[in-house]
Amino acid sequence: MDRFSSIKAFAFDIDGVLTDGSLLAMPDGDILRTFNTKDGFGIRTATDNGYPVAIITGGCSESIIHRCHSYGINTSDLFMLSKDKIADFLLFCERHSLKQEEVAYVGDDIPDIPVIKVAGLGVCPCDAVDEVKEIADFISPYPGGKGCVRDLIEKVLKPAGRWQFHPDKPWSGSFPENIVKFAGLTGRNI
């Protein structure tokens, strides 16, 4: 598909895209999510190879912030409590001097439809709602939280020769101080 070759950046919803959509509500009000490590490696590979990445989600939690930082996503490209996803998408494009058609967006539900319609490549997981599947340019064979993000990133980076992991180079991601301190005890180069 020719649209994959024009992609220079990615934007993702969280719930139902980077997760399977399940939430665990804790007694203190915190919400816990399960993220797929293969999707995470895909995002980190994209950021390590110079692709801007945004998160545009209605969700909000400290864990989202920490997880996105570990992917190498800049805080300014993390849009939580997003009710008007199109405005946040356009701001991301403006900040990185991107045309809308240069950005792939992955969403799975009704609030994602406006962005899927204007993105250069509107993508959804195979378990997205029907309304999203009807308008998506590409439906991943993988469900949300189970590889759909990695699938897209590989389809963009591999043909461009940019699917590269550099073990001698520190990750673009950042981690909370307690994790960095703990990793330092193990001799890791984060």
If you average pLDDT over residues 100-129, what whole number do you get? 96
pLDDT tens-digit map of 136-163: 999 999 999 999 999 999 999 999 998 8
What is the structure's pLDDT at 122? Answer: 97
Report pTM.
Answer: 0.86
| pLDDT given at position 179 | 55
Domain that holds residue 145: 2-186
pLDDT at 11 over 90: yes
Given a cut of 80, whether residue 185 has pLDDT beyond it is no
Handedness of CA 30, 36, 39, 40 (dihedral sign): positive
CATH number for 122: 3.40.50.1000
Q: Which two tokens stand for residue 98?
A: 């991107």
The total number of structural domains in the chain stands at 1
Place of tokens 């801007």: 52
pLDDT for 169 equals: 64
For the chain, helix, strand, coil in percent to 5 are 40, 15, 45
